Amino acid sequence: MGLANHLQRQQQRLDALCEALREETAALAKAQVDGDELAGLAETKQRLFRELDALESQRRQAQARLGYAEGRAGARQAAEEADCLDAWLTLMALAERVREFNATNGSLIRERMRQNQQMLDFLREAAGKPLYGPNGQARQRDSRVSSRA
């Protein structure tokens, strides 16, 4: 298989990964997160990352076998000489977009976890103290649960 075909296969996997990450972003942005949906997306992402890793390993081995330098400089030179530099540049741009999506989703997940932890802390505190005073009136509490979701 030539380099152009190989880059096309990598691009197809990155396109699919981009789509899975877009779906994950949408799922994380919902007020009510669907755990099954996120689990399915996580499986899809893992499969695509494994496939991309295998393809990248093959490309690097071929690059070394053909005498090109390691890293991006060698990969770019190989793409130039195989007359598929545009495909290489498109692949690099797509990989950067995937990286950005992944970072955004990581931030969304961390924010959800922080909110969940705040809610758990509030519930633990509430469980340890009566919610009502001896007169039957609700006790004044500091609410640390964010209304943002």
Residue 144 has pLDDT above 70, yes or no: no
142 has a pLDDT exceeding 70 = no
Residue 51 DSSP code: H
Share of the chain above pLDDT 70, in %: 89
Quickly list DSSP for 72-106: HHHHHHHHHHTT-HHHHHHHHHHHHHHHHHHHHHH
Does residue 124 have a pLDDT over 70?
Answer: yes
Which value, in Å, is the radius of gyration of the alpha carbons in the chain? 24
Query: Mean pLDDT score of the chain, rounded to an integer?
Result: 89
In this prediction, residue 58 carries a pLDDT of 95
Instruction: Please tell me the predicted confidence (pLDDT) of residue 62.
Output: 93
The listed CATH number (1.20.120, 3.30.200, 1.10.3470, 1.20.58) that belongs to domain 3-128: 1.20.58
What percent of the chain is helix, strand and coil (3-state, nearest 5)? 75, 0, 25
Range in 26-30, 36-40, 56-60, 128-132 with the lowest mean pLDDT: 128-132
pLDDT band at residue 60 under the 50/70/90 scheme: very high
Residue 124 token pair: 């633990």
pLDDT in tens, 63-103: 999 999 999 999 999 999 999 999 999 999 999 999 999 99
The pLDDT assigned to 131 comes to: 62
Q: Where are the domains of the chain?
A: 3-128
Whole-number pLDDT of residue 134: 73
DSSP helix/strand/coil, 138: strand
Question: How much is the pLDDT for 138?
Answer: 72
pLDDT for 75 equals 95
